[in-house]
């Protein structure tokens, strides 16, 4: 009996802790799944539904028109599909709603549940996002705000076509490369980037630069040079090492 009292107390403590954690997780899920009350500003344009924690300027129309232009490069995007975009100007909102518990991302797409797009602090009127570190944004000319929105929408389009578990089933070079391919809207010189890749340029190494240009190069090579369809590419994506060999070859197949 003397030993049973501490045991009961421990069990009681464990149960209380589990209950508290369960309530915390439930609270987070409710806030995550139903974010609209937390964003005070809303705008609609064509198939786009935009929410923000700051006033949305009229230039959002030009930004979204450019998003539509960029999505024209996609073999998957349907113009009738509603798109929900949330601008998280406050860092804590990006951390909470972005799904990655990070404030350093340009944007995120929730391919698992809601298929919402979350974008970091941005200047909509200037069509640009604010750099996470406060310095110049790498490849800024090719990556305006409209690029980031189109990039994340493409992740959701891939999820709709190939399933919600795409992040688990396909290589990163394919998922991010195709999103970059669409997001750039044709603003990509394949031959120039291939030459930089062969020369070992930092910009073509995602580990050194954080850019997806190397992944984009692989996707563009298969789609535009080899003539693969997107269905072929996702049905049997080549090993990344084999792609590197092809791209470095003086006469790639």
**What are 152's two structure tokens?**
């994340």
DSSP secondary-structure letter at 12? H
Measured distance CA(139)–CA(89) in Å, rounded: 21
- Name the residue ranges covered by the structural domains of the chain: 4-33, 41-248
In this prediction the pTM is 0.91
In order of 114, 177, 237, the CA distances from 173 in angstroms are 24, 5, 10
| Residues in a beta bridge with 168 | none
| Residues in a beta bridge with 42 | 51
Measured distance CA(200)–CA(190) in Å, rounded: 15
What's residue 8's pLDDT? 73
- Fold annotation for 41-248: Neutral Protease; domain 2 (1.10.390)
Is the C-alpha dihedral spanning 15, 18, 23, 24 positive or negative? positive
Measured distance CA(179)–CA(244) in Å, rounded: 19
What's residue 1's pLDDT? 45
Measured distance CA(224)–CA(17) in Å, rounded: 56
pLDDT in tens, the chain (253 residues): 444 557 777 777 777 788 778 877 777 777 778 899 999 999 999 999 999 999 999 999 999 999 999 999 999 999 999 999 999 999 999 999 988 889 999 999 999 999 999 999 999 999 999 998 888 999 999 999 999 999 999 999 999 999 999 999 999 999 999 999 999 999 999 999 999 999 999 999 999 999 999 999 999 999 999 999 999 999 999 999 999 999 999 887 7
Contact 92, 12 (CB under 8 A): no
What's residue 5's pLDDT? 56
What's residue 252's pLDDT? 76
**What are 99's two structure tokens?**
């799904």
Count the Cβ atoms, other than its own, within 10 Å of residue 140. Answer: 12
What's residue 4's pLDDT? 55
Q: Which residues contact 127 (CB under 8 A, 6 or more apart)?
A: 59, 62, 63, 66, 144, 145, 146
**What are 30's two structure tokens?**
């409710």
């Amino acid at each position: 009996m003397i030993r049973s009292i501490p045991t009961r107390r421990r069990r009681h403590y464990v149960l209380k802790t589990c209950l508290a954690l369960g309530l915390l997780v439930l609270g987070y899920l409710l806030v995550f799944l139903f974010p609209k009350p937390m964003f005070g500003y809303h705008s609609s344009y064509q198939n786009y539904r935009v929410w923000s924690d700051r006033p949305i300027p009229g230039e959002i129309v030009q930004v979204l028109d450019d998003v539509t232009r960029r999505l024209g490069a996609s073999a998957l995007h349907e113009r009738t599909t509603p798109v929900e975009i949330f601008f998280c100007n406050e860092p804590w909102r990006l951390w909470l709603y972005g799904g990655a518990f990070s404030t350093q991302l340009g944007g995120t797409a929730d391919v698992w549940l809601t298929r919402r797009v979350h974008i970091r602090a941005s200047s909509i009127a200037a069509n640009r996002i604010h750099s996470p570190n406060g310095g110049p944004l790498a490849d800024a000319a090719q990556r305006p705000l409209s690029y980031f929105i189109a990039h994340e929408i493409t992740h959701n389009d891939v999820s709709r076509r190939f399933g919600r578990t795409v992040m688990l089933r396909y290589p990163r070079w394919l998922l991010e490369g195709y999103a970059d391919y669409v997001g750039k809207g044709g603003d990509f010189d394949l031959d120039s980037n291939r030459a930089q890749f062969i020369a070992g340029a930092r910009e073509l190494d995602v580990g050194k630069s954080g850019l997806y240009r190397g992944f984009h190069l692989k996707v563009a090579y298969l789609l535009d040079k080899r003539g693969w369809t997107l269905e072929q590419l996702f049905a049997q994506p080549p090993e990344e090492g084999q792609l590197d060999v092809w791209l470095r070859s003086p006469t790639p197949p």
